[in-house]
Amino acid sequence: MRRRGAVSLDGVGPGPQNADASSHMNVSPDPSLQALGACAPSRPAHWFARGMVGAVSTPGLVLVATFVGFGGLLHDLGFPIFAGLLSTLLVWALPAQVILVGGLAAGASLPALAVAVCLSGVRLLPMVVSLMPLMRGPRPRLLSELVCAHFVAVTMWVEGLRLLPGVAPEGRPAYATGLGFGLTVLSMTGTAIGFYLTGALPGPLAVALLLLTPISFAILLVRNARRPVDWLAIVLGAAISPLVANSPGGLDLFWAGVGGGTLAFFLARILPGRQA
């Protein structure tokens, strides 16, 4: 007999206590996870492995191709491969990595580079805030949440919103960690491939590969937009982008995203018959 309000352990989806978070994200649970949930054990290792498997997807392969370009950039700048792989593991944000590597190659001071990398990471804060309710389990643990937050970047955010609603609440921290770690491993693999195959990779192609992630992100945003407020946020963000271009600290993307999303939220609240 199940107590009212108890969290569902069958893995089909979030229980009543977590329904608000999932519905607020406006993301339908992944069908493959729903089918799996009927017989899935609740062991963390199982959900971690499922997260690793979930990383092998089209966005994950786009990451590999993108980091192939980053690996070629490392080689051209004479940057050590070990340090480049370590930047992928620890920094885990391609724009910040390009700032770090380019700054070191140009002889910039370490304090200035540290500030620039930190400011570049500010754009990820809204993603962490919006995804954390889905990554947090029924018993929040600070260490687990910090690990999950570290892996949140553009691809992790998009895939997390798509996949996590279909994961049992007690398995979400492990699944999110596995998903983020899997994406990181794929990115490190792409970095190594690009570094050692840079002789066969034309320079313009290496630069073009770096654009795959923002292009993929834009496509995924459109694909996941279902309600009018989602489309409104995309349109407003695109309209604001030219106004905040070249913002200090490289925060133009941050202001465009937060500004467009915030305006869309309040407009949806104000306009009659609309829900945010």
| 3-state SS class at 273 | coil
Q: Specify if 36 maps to a domain.
A: yes
One domain, residues 91 and 181: yes
| Distance between CA atoms of residues 80 and 207, nearest Å | 19
Q: Specify if 6 maps to a domain.
A: no
Report which DSSP code applies to 28.
P
Of 209, 224, 239, the one marking the end of a domain is: 224
Q: What is the pLDDT of residues 140-154, one digit of tens each?
A: 888 999 999 999 988
One domain, residues 202 and 90: yes
One domain, residues 247 and 217: no
pLDDT of residue 56: 92
Q: What is the pTM of this model?
A: 0.66
One domain, residues 53 and 133: yes
Return the C-alpha torsion angle 266, 271, 275, 276, nearest 10: -10
Tell me how many domains the chain contains. Answer: 2
pLDDT of residue 175: 96
Q: What is the pLDDT of residues 241-263, one digit of tens each?
A: 888 887 776 667 778 878 888 88
Q: Rounded to the nearest 5°, which phi and psi values hold at 130?
A: -75, -30
One domain, residues 242 and 191: no
One domain, residues 204 and 69: yes
Q: Specify if 219 maps to a domain.
A: yes
One domain, residues 134 and 258: no
With a cut of 50, which residues of the chain have pLDDT below it? 1-28, 32, 34-40, 274-276
One domain, residues 272 and 150: no
Q: Output b/e per residue, 77-107; b: 16+ Cβ within 10 A.
A: eebeeeebbebbeebbbbbbbbbbbebeeee
pLDDT of residue 1: 44
Structural domain range at position 273: 226-276
One domain, residues 180 and 209: yes
pLDDT of residue 41: 54
Q: Specify if 145 maps to a domain.
A: yes
One domain, residues 73 and 159: yes
pLDDT of residue 199: 66
One domain, residues 200 and 230: no
Owner of token pair 């910039």: 108
